[in-house]
Chains A and B, each alone.
Chain A
Amino acid sequence: MNKPKISFRNVWKVFGPTPEHIIETVKPETAVSDILAKTGHVVAVRDVSFDVYEGEVFCVMGLSGSGKSTLVRCLSRLIEPTAGKIIVNGDNVVEMSEEELRDLRRHKMSMVFQRFGLFSHRRVIENIAYGLEIQGVEREERIKHSYEILEKVGLHGWDQHYPHELSGGMQQRVGLARALAVDPEILLCDEPFSALDPLIRRDMQNELLRLQRDLQKTMVFITHDFLEALKLGDRIAIMKDGEVVQIGTPEDIVANPINDYVHEFTKDVPRVKVLTARTVMKPVTHKEELIGRAVAIDTTLEKLIPLTADTDDAILVMDGEDNVIGEVNRKRVMMALATIQKKEV
């Protein structure tokens, strides 16, 4: 992967009268609920460190109250982090002056909100143009640009309406368009689709994937829906009580949930669709047998099952440059399924 675009280093956010004191004194094993009961402080984000790389969709997933919204707001300092460093493009956001921060928010990152956060007194097109207006772009130019974005998110003809005249899904398209209008390097999404009906939500997820293929933004995407995280995320961080408990690709996490908390999410996942040859394969045993059928490394279990079902032979796994990097056979495929069975019992 390329260089990190965003780095969190030991970031904390504690709500309460003396937050610094809590960070210094609290022991790593003390539970968040105990801290609250004893000191009245809410530890919303607890010693979080991770990197987000350029152009990737990084999902943060966790139950409600696990600190996801707080975390993403620390990134643009809509909430002041209590401790730690947050590096964006090599600069520490935490140490930025008011001015630098404003510049960052205006040009580098923008955000999509769970309940849309649209301006009810502005027409759709004026909502989309808001970021540009704040940047000081001339009216004619920003309106022209906003019309282009409007088309991109599929809202043709809705420019002169007010937000409340639109359906929920369309409102969030406006929210998305407003965020994209400033052409940010980083897009922050705080559960943007959680307030939508399931069908609309799926449409919007596909729409986002489609846009992302063109735009290649660095995206931090918050969700409490594990399936959504699997679908959208290049990598996923799972949060619990303010801590990140596991980071990995969707496949990593489904294949090797680190603890019961994570396993609980992965239980209902259709693994045959998520696991691939990458997880199931083993190193090649007999070099001389390097002939026979081969599959690509990202072939899902779903496709491997019929291939391995009628043969005892190994099937080769190849990477992008046609190098053989492993092999799978029926036994391994069945073991992968069996592992699931075992864990579920």
Chain B
Amino acid sequence: MAATRQPSPAKQITPVRIILIAALLLFLYHNLIHNLGVFPEEWNLGLREPLDMFKKWVIVANRDGHWMFALFFQPLKGSIDFFMRRIEDFMYWLPWTVIIAFVFFLANKIGDLKLALLTAFSLLMMGLLGLWDESMRTLALMVTSVIIALAIGLPLGVWAAHNDRVETMLRPVLDAMQTMPAFVYLIPVVLFFGIARVPSVIATIIYAIPPVVRLTNLGIRRVSEESIEAARSFGSTPRQIMLKVQIPQAMPSIMTGVNQTIMMALSIVVIAALIGGGGLGDVVLKSLRRLQVGSALEAGLAIVFMAVLLDRLSFAFSQIEHVSVKKHQGFRLLPRKWGGKSWAKAIERPITWVYAMSGRLEKKVVHLFSRLLPKQDENINSAGYFITMALGLLLLLGISFALSWVEFPENWDLSLSKPVDTAVKWAQVNLYQIGDTFIGTGPFSDFVSLYMLRPLRLLLLEWLAWPIIILLISALAWKAANWKLAVYSALSMLFIGWLGLWEASMDTLSQVLVAVLISVLIGVPLGVWSARNDSAEQFLRPILDFLQTIPTFVYLVPVIMLFNLGRVPGIMASVMYAIAPTVRLTNLGIRQVDEAAVEASVSFGATTWQTLRNVQLPLSLPSIMMGVNQTIMMVLAMVIIAGLVGAAGLGFSVIDAMQNNKMGASIEAGLAIVLMAIVLDRITQSWAQKQADAANIT
């Protein structure tokens, strides 16, 4: 064997070590000899002045009919506005009965009766909460944005699938777009279009486009070579191949993209209340400002119902299978396990009966109309269903107008706000501290601020002066990836300083770190638990799904109920929103650990705990890191939202500046968040990648 010299790692001089030593020397100098002070103010780039000037220029140019506005922005604004108003008017004109019935029948067709009931119930709840009009307004905004996003995104995806150069050009753009927090999209749009509903539509379109482009491209590229070749061999034109083979075969993937686009659109449409988007988000925002938790909760619930409705419905589209005979499974409202119980039977029997009757009725009606259709049409059932549905809806429309059931009845009111407000008062008094113990929201909140946030902030702002932090971050970047990322990270951090936002950024960073820490502390054990226990996984999955479906904004409502205002509620909202990927990927990582490795460990007599610590956790580390990376990105996406409940730092700067009409300052803070997000994303992702590579090599 050739004796390769292995320099002992301790003696090796690496650039990372040099940087770390420099940081250490600086640290000693800073703390023992001479304070390095804060980030020099005279280095401030003063970006906000030109930005504010630009904003003024936009206003003037707009008024004076500068060609750019007269020929481009105004017509764009005008046509989107026109389009949206038509949709909105239509939805206001439609009686609520017809809307609910339409969604019910549609869901029943593409999904099953359970889905139909769920969606109808969601809509009904929006009405019962007294928020029908606001919900329709949000829905109109959604429909407008999603239609335009799809109209742009689908062709773009198709184009990318057919042209490698387009794909390579689009990919980094799409990646960057998905790294940025939703809110960041609102800022430049506001700059050009001011505060109103159209800019929220535009921001929504831009934010929500990436998934549909990505998944259309991916879906088309994954269509099997052989079926395309078969199509060519029959003399299909490229266009025929596209329309008859590629797009239909890619449909599940495309619909998954549409589902994601819809959900992203919803999350931003709600936030867009901040720039005058109106609708449900507006109700939440106004109530939060007035600290009327009850009505905030109502609007929050309506948003959750909207999210569930849109998610389940569009997900069902992506799950449509090509099966000749839909298996009739009957209908089960309750879990199978409860089937034996007599009370469960009593509930399910009438439902089963109605289901069977309606099925029979449907068949009769379809049969009636099938005579109108061309013979031997294999889609006869679908066509029949939709014709039946259309006629039924028309009938209902007539009845509704005749009986003037147009507006959602006002006296059908579930009003939650009063009892909730009472409950919140009760909670604030009684949950603050339970008896003389240290259990309660108060002590918890104090613990987080006193023992986690404050020391961390002190560390970042006082003990470590800014040059030390920059050195440490670049050392981290170098270790995770290479010198390029180190330089890039250092420059990004410097830039944050140049923006004059060093302190606010460190404040935000400390909150982000605490939120991530709490997420990991809770999320990893939960992940381990669900990896070791199937029923735990089954229990957690719907909860995690649910947490990821809800638009970020809504998380503010419960935390404000429990923690009032400040940094802690912001952190708790971030944890709720961002914990899911850590749990999921820990679970996945551990479940994917090679069984042989586990068996080997057990055969050596390792205890469960030893096996977990020495085999399963290390082997699933790449997956866990991936989860943590996603969690970090989601926490960062919450920074601005957390600013709404008074979590100081960059998020608060954005909100505050925006509300005081200081565009420049708002953009600066937004930029700082984006820079921080990119740096953290790159470092953690490279790190996860390195772990994964190392795991694959060995």
Please provide the chain B residues from 237 to 271 with a CB less than 8 Å away from any CB of chain A in the complex.
237, 240, 244-245, 248-249, 251
Q: Distance in Å from the Cβ of B393 to the closest Cβ of chain A?
A: 28
Tell me whether A182 and B378 are in contact in the complex, defined as CB-CB below 8 angstroms, given that A120-B249, A162-B323, A162-B324 are known contacts.
no
Complex contacts, A278 vs chain B, CB 8 Å? none
Please provide the chain B residues from 364 to 394 with a CB less than 8 Å away from any CB of chain A in the complex.
374-376, 378
Partner of B232, one of A78, A118, A125: A78
Which of B231, B232, B233 has the most C-beta atoms of chain A within 10 angstroms of its own C-beta?
B233
Tell me whether A126 and B376 are in contact in the complex, defined as CB-CB below 8 angstroms, given that A105-B235, A121-B249 are known contacts.
no
Tell me whether A162 and B235 are in contact in the complex, defined as CB-CB below 8 angstroms, given that A120-B249, A139-B374, A144-B376 are known contacts.
no
Contact (Cβ within 8 A) A119 B245: yes
Complex contacts, B227 vs chain A, CB 8 Å? 117-120
Contact (Cβ within 8 A) B374 A120: no
Q: Is the CB of A334 closer than 8 A to any CB of chain B?
A: no
Complex contacts, B248 vs chain A, CB 8 Å? 119, 121-122
Complex contacts, A140 vs chain B, CB 8 Å? 374-376
Contact (Cβ within 8 A) B251 A115: no
Complex Cα–Cα for A110 and B251 (A):
27
Partner of A134, one of B226, B234, B323: B234
Q: Is the CB of B492 closer than 8 A to any CB of chain A?
A: no
Q: Is the CB of A58 closer than 8 A to any CB of chain B?
A: no
Q: Is the CB of A202 closer than 8 A to any CB of chain B?
A: no
Q: Is the CB of B229 closer than 8 A to any CB of chain A?
A: yes
Q: Is the CB of A103 closer than 8 A to any CB of chain B?
A: yes
Complex contacts, A78 vs chain B, CB 8 Å? 229, 232-233
Q: Distance in Å from the Cβ of A182 to the closest Cβ of chain B?
A: 7
Complex contacts, A152 vs chain B, CB 8 Å? none
Complex contacts, A118 vs chain B, CB 8 Å? 227, 230
Q: Is the CB of B433 closer than 8 A to any CB of chain A?
A: no
Q: Distance in Å from the Cβ of B278 to the closest Cβ of chain A?
A: 41
Contact (Cβ within 8 A) A160 B322: no
Q: Is the CB of B236 closer than 8 A to any CB of chain A?
A: yes
Contact (Cβ within 8 A) A102 B235: yes
Contact (Cβ within 8 A) B240 A160: no
Complex Cα–Cα for A169 and B318 (A):
30
Partner of B322, one of A104, A106, A121, A159: A121
Q: Is the CB of A231 closer than 8 A to any CB of chain B?
A: no
Q: Distance in Å from the Cβ of A191 to the closest Cβ of chain B?
A: 12
Contact (Cβ within 8 A) B233 A105: yes
Complex Cα–Cα for A164 and B378 (A):
17
Q: How large is the interface on B (under 10, 10 to 19, 20 to 34, 35 or more residues)?
A: 20 to 34
Please provide the chain B residues from 208 to 243 with a CB less than 8 Å away from any CB of chain A in the complex.
224, 226-227, 229-237, 240
Complex Cα–Cα for A117 and B236 (A):
14
Complex Cα–Cα for A101 and B231 (A):
14
Q: Is the CB of A111 closer than 8 A to any CB of chain B?
A: yes
Q: Distance in Å from the Cβ of B241 to the closest Cβ of chain A?
A: 10
Complex Cα–Cα for A162 and B320 (A):
13
Complex Cα–Cα for A162 and B326 (A):
12
Partner of A120, one of B229, B234, B322: B322
Q: Distance in Å from the Cβ of B235 to the closest Cβ of chain A?
A: 3
Complex Cα–Cα for A102 and B231 (A):
11
Contact (Cβ within 8 A) A119 B235: no
Complex Cα–Cα for A159 and B236 (A):
23
Partner of B234, one of A106, A121, A126: A106
Complex Cα–Cα for A259 and B224 (A):
39
Please provide the chain A residues from 50 to 86 with a CB less than 8 Å away from any CB of chain B in the complex.
76, 78
Complex contacts, B376 vs chain A, CB 8 Å? 140, 143-144
Q: Distance in Å from the Cβ of B431 to the closest Cβ of chain A?
A: 55
Contact (Cβ within 8 A) B230 A113: yes
Partner of A105, one of B234, B244, B251, B324: B234
Which of B234, B245, B251, B322 has the most C-beta atoms of chain A within 10 angstroms of its own C-beta?
B234
Q: Distance in Å from the Cβ of B453 to the closest Cβ of chain A?
A: 55
Q: Is the CB of A123 closer than 8 A to any CB of chain B?
A: yes
Contact (Cβ within 8 A) A106 B378: no
Partner of A131, one of B226, B234, B322: B234
Contact (Cβ within 8 A) B324 A123: yes
- With both beta carbons as reference points, the residue of chain A lying nearest to B320 in the complex is identified as A121
Q: Is the CB of A161 closer than 8 A to any CB of chain B?
A: yes
Contact (Cβ within 8 A) B230 A165: no
Complex Cα–Cα for A118 and B245 (A):
10
Contact (Cβ within 8 A) B226 A115: yes
Contact (Cβ within 8 A) B226 A110: no
| In the complex, per-residue mask of B323-356: 1 if CB is within 8 Å of any chain A CB, else 0 | 1100000000000000000000000000000000
Q: Is the CB of A130 closer than 8 A to any CB of chain B?
A: yes
Write 14 A-B pairs (CB below 8 A) sorted by A numbering.
A78-B233, A113-B230, A117-B224, A119-B231, A119-B248, A123-B378, A130-B231, A131-B235, A140-B375, A143-B376, A144-B376, A159-B378, A160-B378, A162-B322
Beyond A134-B235, A134-B240, 17 additional contacts (C-beta under 8 Å) are: A78-B229, A78-B233, A105-B233, A113-B229, A117-B224, A118-B227, A121-B248, A131-B234, A131-B235, A134-B234, A134-B236, A140-B374, A140-B375, A140-B376, A159-B378, A161-B324, A162-B324
Point out residues on B near A: beta carbons under 8 Å: 224, 226-227, 229-237, 240, 244-245, 248-249, 251, 322-324, 374-376, 378
Point out residues on A near B: beta carbons under 8 Å: 76, 78, 101-107, 110-111, 113-123, 125-126, 130-131, 133-135, 139-140, 143-144, 159-162, 164-165, 182, 188
Top 4 closest A-B pairs, CB basis? A105-B235, A117-B230, A106-B235, A117-B226
